[in-house]
A and B are shown apart, each in its own frame.
Chain A
Amino acid sequence: MPPRARPRPEAAGITDQTRKDTRAEAAVHIEGLRWRPLTRRAPTIDGLDLVIPAGQRVLLAGASGSGKSTVLRALAGLLDPEDGEGTHLPAPPQRPGARGLLLQDPADALVAASIGRDAAFGPENAARPRPEIHERAARALAAARCDLNPTRAPLDSSGGQQQRIALAGALALDPELLLLDEPTSMLDTATAEEVRAAVLDAADGATLVVAEHRIGPWLPHVDRLVVLGPQARVLADGPPEELLTTQRDVLVDAGVLVEEEDAQARAPREAVGAPVAALEGVTVPARGLHTPQDLALHAGRLTVLSGPSGAGKTTLLRVLTGALSPATGAVTRPEPSRLALVPQDPEHSFVAATVRGEVLASPYAKDPALVEELLERAGLAALAGAHPHRLSGGEQRRLAIVAALAQRPALLVLDEPTVGLDARRRTEVLALLREARDRGCAVLAASHDPLLLEAADDLRRLTASPVGPEIPPERRLPADALNPLTLCLIGILAAAGSFAVQTWQGGLLALLPTLLLAPFAVRSLRGAALRMAPILLSAAGLAWTTALLGEAPSLSCESWLVGLKEAARITAFVAPGVLALGSVRPTPLGDALAQRLHLPARPVAAAVLALVRVGHLGRQWSTILETRVRRGLGTPRSPRLLAGATLALLVDTLRGAEQQALAMDARGFATAQQRTWAEPSPFGRADLVGLAIAVLMLVWPPVAEMLT
């Protein structure tokens, strides 16, 4: 056993009585806690007793499905009586954020367009005054050891950084109880260590409950280990070193302790034959991959691509599968039907309503006998009639791999196939990868899982700069000086004014102010062209429709002039608004809608979050499309493929929404009807000019008509 990292809490408590008093609310006291979600027949927590003195650090261990996450939700006071039946549920905390919650996927905790604003979210919900919000956010970011530029987008940073930003989000409200749900399970070993250190440092003095299935790294830092079995039944409870010696078999049975694996399973294998696929001198500078990369994948070998997040693992995989073209270098790969891809989130690839249907879904999977055999090997035969989306995380991973193997691929490519799984389930996935390898398939997995690294026949480590490239600041435009509401008003009044257009001459004249003012709202010629092209195309389309289907004889000179008038009118209707909106960003728009128009705070804040997450949603959408095209299910134009992809995006979004709601409520959003806002929404002198422009846009078209 490593030496204890800190003194026992009792000792600390005696010397520091005042601290103990202020933390009194954090002490957990639950008795006979039961919880059954309305959509389940059996309870997920069946009579749990748990008393945690203030200041104690508890490791809550248990295999996936043992109810750890539900227990944490209960402790946070976030089990919603609308969702299920519970008895002896702990009440929500007295003040917002008193119980901080960190989730497995840090991306679920991120709510804002910038890191600084993200850390401010909790204090905003708690309706703190503006100077205090900034002070708390800065302090929390420092405490979480997050030293990135606070104007950067949190969703663009690496997994480890995201988890520290999420930690800052919790710390900004001074939690007395910090609840962590597998906070490092998606991170590589080194990054996990950094995050763990930041957590332990920041939680100094607070009560800490960590739910984990990988207990080793936490053991030196906790006072108490609680092992949960199915339905959150306590199997063992006590000081870690005591349980490790006296109840070792209980821990192994519960799946939280893995016995050393036999070395004979990974005897070295020799490289054989020509590679099935290869990368030669590949660079993708646009994705930060500057040094030329070579990679050769041989039949019957398991290759693992490793490296910190952001090192370019996913980029290399996408180049290999043909989803991304390299700037330089050559790629050889098997024909499409013999290249199978398993995405990190297996649900992104699912299309069928049964497990067996899923394995047979790809037109490349032609052999029903092979399908049955693979299902048997993966332990999924009994679940052949179940709904793929209803399987557990580990079963979903195995199903996606089986579906890939059913097409007898020469090359199987997997993105993080074991991330987030517990020890037993990771071993099951590894067994399936070995099965694929032994069938003569070349297997490539991007992973930072030590288990896979150990098992690899070939190991390839990527290194990269830990911080992504800084995005150069946008050129500042005169339009950027305006309040978003002023910019909206310009567009709205211009649209209203455009209805005064009656003749083609008046219509063309009506466009004059838009043409003259456009340079003040256009960042680059290319950007302007991109924004204006669809408008002009629609206007041309409208002119054509009008000339063809108007009251005047079809396609006569008269009808074309009416068409021209319509094209000018619609351009006057649309263009000013589109140009002005180029300077509107979701966050300042939300600030303005809430503080200036006094729209309800929670819907506004939620809508801003949705707009901020669009980039993230876009990335999911591309992964989903790529995965499906790769499975041979159709082209991105096929209605069937688009329908399936939309459904998959919605499943992903809905599951994410549930986690995000938890993270937000732990930061006081549930009661934030009267929240404050970290940034004001000022109206300045420039807005007077903007107002004048808006009025001009309204009255100019009728004036133009009179002039003609």
Chain B
Amino acid sequence: MTRFRTVDLLVTVLIGGAFGVAFLGYGQLYTLIGPLTAAFKPAEGLLAGLWFLPAMLAALIVRKPGAALLAELVAAVLSMLLGSQWGWGTAISGLMQGGGVELAFLLTRYRRFTLPVAILGGVLAALLEWGWEKFAYYQEMSWSFSGMMLVFFLISGALLCGGLGWVATRALVATGAVDSLAAGRAAARAAEA
């Protein structure tokens, strides 16, 4: 089933919208790791995975081609319209992050929505986002520091996007809020079997 019903479409775009709003509160988290990043800037990459979450949740809940990309793009356009400090760079980031997650599920032909695939999605999103940031923002950063930043990005993508996204989806399935969506139906089938 690749057809987007209205509810699939709405859930996808509203996940993007909800994260766009929640992200405004996430800025606070950077103050938590402030001492760390002041001493060592590439450590900022440790939180990178959080920004890929809309894509991951949309993919794991809606389970249809394009959901990850669309959700992340809505979140990106939203922060852009609200005045993100990266301007049009945010849109490209949305494309990279959503595209990375999308790619992982595409590789399974949208048949597997398991933790390892989610982690792969987080890693791919981190890789693409890092590539874009290196090109656009950190051209002059030395390759050794850039390499360390990549490591932080990959760890964060695997844990905060892949791992946390997968856990969050399970928590959402438990609430019953996704019963009319692919993730809820799969859980119901698993419970019956």
A residues sitting closer than 8 Å to B (CB atoms) are: 37-39, 80, 82-83, 353, 387, 389-390, 491-492, 495, 530-531, 534-535, 537-538, 542, 545-546, 548-551, 562-563, 565-566, 570, 573-578, 581-582, 584, 586, 602-603, 606-607, 609-611, 613-614, 617-618, 621, 625, 636-637, 639, 642-643, 645-647, 649-651, 653-658, 660-661, 664-665, 669-670
Given A82-B185, A607-B74: 6 more A-B contacts, CB < 8 Å: A38-B179, A610-B14, A617-B21, A653-B17, A661-B9, A670-B6
> Contact between B6 and A653 (Cβ–Cβ < 8 Å)?
no
How far apart sit A664 and B11, CA to CA, in the bound complex (Å)? 13
CA distance A570 to B185 in the complex (A): 46
Asked if residues A546 and B86 are in contact (CB atoms below 8 Å), the reply is no
* B18 CB–A CB distance under 8 Å: yes
The answer, yes or no, to whether B193 is at the interface (CB within 8 Å) is no
B69-127 interface (Cβ within 8 A of A): 70, 73-74, 77-78, 80-89
Contact B78 A614 (CB under 8 A): yes
Contact mask B5-18 → A, CB, 8 Å, 1/0?
Answer: 11101111111111
Sample (26) of A-B pairs whose CB atoms are under 8 Å apart? A39-B176, A83-B180, A390-B174, A534-B84, A535-B85, A538-B86, A546-B138, A550-B142, A574-B89, A577-B87, A577-B88, A603-B4, A603-B70, A606-B10, A607-B77, A609-B10, A611-B74, A611-B78, A613-B17, A643-B168, A646-B22, A650-B168, A653-B11, A658-B7, A661-B5, A661-B10
The smallest beta-carbon distance between B186 and chain A, in angstroms, is 10
> For the complex, would chain B's binding face be called helix, strand, loop or mixed by DSSP majority?
helix
Could you tell me if A651 and B41 are in contact, using CB atoms closer than 8 angstroms?
no
Q: Do the beta carbons of B141 and A654 come within 8 Å of each other?
A: no
With beta carbons under 8 angstroms apart, the residue of A574, A617, A656 that contacts B87 is A574
Top 4 A-B pairs, shortest CB-CB distance: A389-B175, A574-B87, A534-B85, A577-B87
A642 to B30, CA, bound (A): 13
Distance (Å) between the CB of A593 and the closest chain B CB? Answer: 10
Q: Given known contacts A570-B137, A574-B86, A646-B22, is B17 in contact with A651 (CB within 8 Å)?
A: no
CB pair A654–B178 under 8 Å, yes or no, is: yes
B59 to chain A, nearest CB (A): 14
Contact A647 B10 (CB under 8 A): no
> Does B48 have its Cβ within 8 Å of any Cβ on chain A?
no
B17 to A617, Cβ gap below 8 A? yes
Contact A625 B83 (CB under 8 A): no
Docked CA distance A548–B38 (Å): 11
Contacts of A661 in B (CB 8 A): 5-7, 9-10
Within 8 Å CB of B6, what residues of A? 602, 606, 661, 664-665, 669-670
CB neighbours of A584 from chain B (8 A): 81
Chain A neighbourhood of B171, CB < 8 A: 647
A607 touches B7 (CB 8 A): no
Residues on B with C-beta less than 8 A from A625 are 25
Q: Please name all residues of chain A whose beta carbon is closer than 8 Å to the beta carbon of B138 when the two chains form the complex.
A: 542, 545-546
Give residues of chain B (155-169) contacting chain A, Cβ–Cβ below 8 Å. Answer: 168
CB pair A636 B25 closer than 8 Å = yes
Report chain B residues within 8 Å CB of A639.
29, 32
**Chain A residue at smallest Cβ distance from B148:** A549
Mask, B168-193, CB within 8 Å of A = 1, is 10011011111111001101110000
**Smallest beta-carbon distance B107→chain A, Å:** 23
A-side contacts of B15, CB under 8 Å: 650, 653
Nearest-Cβ distance from residue A563 to partner chain B, whole angstroms:
8
Picked from B77, B139, B177, B180, the residue with its CB within 8 Å of the CB of A651 is: B177
B1 touches A651 (CB 8 A): no
Chain B interfacial residues counted at CB < 8 A: 69
Chain B residues packing against A (C-beta within 8 Å): 1, 4-7, 9-22, 24-26, 28-29, 31-32, 41-42, 57, 61, 70, 73-74, 77-78, 80-89, 136-142, 145, 168, 171-172, 174-181, 184-185, 187-189
Nearest A residue (CB) for B174? A387
Give chain B nearest CB distance to A71 CB in angstroms.
17
Determine the distance from Cα of A617 to Cα of B136 in the docked complex, in whole angstroms: 32
Known contacts A573-B136, A650-B57; decide if A39 and B17 are in contact (CB<8 Å): no
Contact B20 A492 (CB under 8 A): no
Minimum CB–CB distance from A605 to chain B (whole Å) comes to: 9
Partner of A491, one of B1, B11, B87, B175: B87
For residue B41, which residues in chain A have a CB less than 8 angstroms away from its CB? 545, 548-549
Please give the distance in Å from B29's CB to the nearest CB on chain A.
6
B81 to chain A: which residues have CB within 8 Å?
A: 581, 584, 586, 611
A304 to B57, CA, bound (A): 41
CB atoms of A39 and B185 under 8 A apart: yes
Let me know if A38 and B188 touch, CB within 8 A: yes
Contact at A573–B177, with CB atoms within 8 Å?
no
A495-B87, A611-B17 given as contacts; is B185 within 8 A of A542 (CB)? no
CB distance from B190 to the nearest CB of A (A): 11
What separation, in Å, do the CA atoms of A379 and B77 have in the docked complex?
A: 47
Of the residues B13, B61, B84, B140, contact of A609 by C-beta under 8 Å: B13
Give bound CA distance, A446 to B128, whole Å.
Answer: 50
With a cutoff of 8 Å between Cβ atoms, the chain A residues found around residue B28 in the complex are 636-637, 642
Write the nearest CB–CB distance from B68 to chain A, whole angstroms: 13
Q: Is the CB of B21 within 8 A of A614?
A: yes
Shortest distance in angstroms between A178's beta carbon and chain B's nearest beta carbon? 20
Report the bound CA distance from A496 to B78 in whole Å.
21
The smallest beta-carbon distance between A643 and chain B, in angstroms, is 8
Beta-carbon nearest neighbor of A562 in chain B: B140
Known contacts A353-B174, A617-B17, A617-B21; A534/B83 CB under 8 A: yes
B43 to chain A, nearest CB (A): 12
- Cα A130 to Cα B123 in complex, Å, equals 47
The answer for the CA separation of A244 and B138 in the assembled complex, in Å, is 77
A353 to B142, CA, bound (A): 47
CB contact between B25 and one of A565, A614, A642 (< 8 Å): that residue? A642
Complex CA gap A531/B82 in Å reads: 9
Which residues on B sit within 8 Å (CB–CB) of A573?
87-89, 136
Pairwise interchain contact B18-A617, C-beta atoms closer than 8 A: yes
Q: How far is the CB of A527 from chain B (nearest CB, A)?
A: 9
Once the chains are docked, how many angstroms separate the CA of A389 from the CA of B184? Answer: 14
Q: Tell me if A566 and B140 are in contact (CB < 8 A).
A: yes
Residue on B nearest A618 in the bound complex, by CB: B21
The residue in chain A whose Cβ has the minimal distance to the Cβ of B143 is A551
B97 vs chain A, min Cβ distance (A) = 17
**Contact indicator B188/A574 (Cβ below 8 Å):** no
Alpha-carbon separation in the docked complex, A389 to B29 (Å):
27
Chain B nearest CB from A501 CB (Å) reads 10
CB distance from B160 to the nearest CB of A (A): 10
Flag if B172 contacts A650 (CB, 8 Å): yes
Q: What residue in chain A is nearest B142 (Cβ atoms)?
A: A551
Our pick among B16, B25, B89, B175 for the contact of A610 (Cβ within 8 Å) is B16
Instruction: List the A side residues contacting B42 at CB < 8 Å.
Output: 549
Residues of B within 8 A of A603 (CB): 4, 9, 13, 70
A656 → chain B, closest Cβ, in Å?
7
Q: In the complex, what residues of B have CB within 8 A of residue A617's CB? A: 14, 17-18, 20-21
Q: Are B175 and A575 interface neighbours, CB within 8 A?
A: no
Q: Which residues of B contact A549 (CB under 8 A)?
A: 41-42, 141-142, 145
> Could you tell me if B88 and A491 are in contact, using CB atoms closer than 8 angstroms?
yes
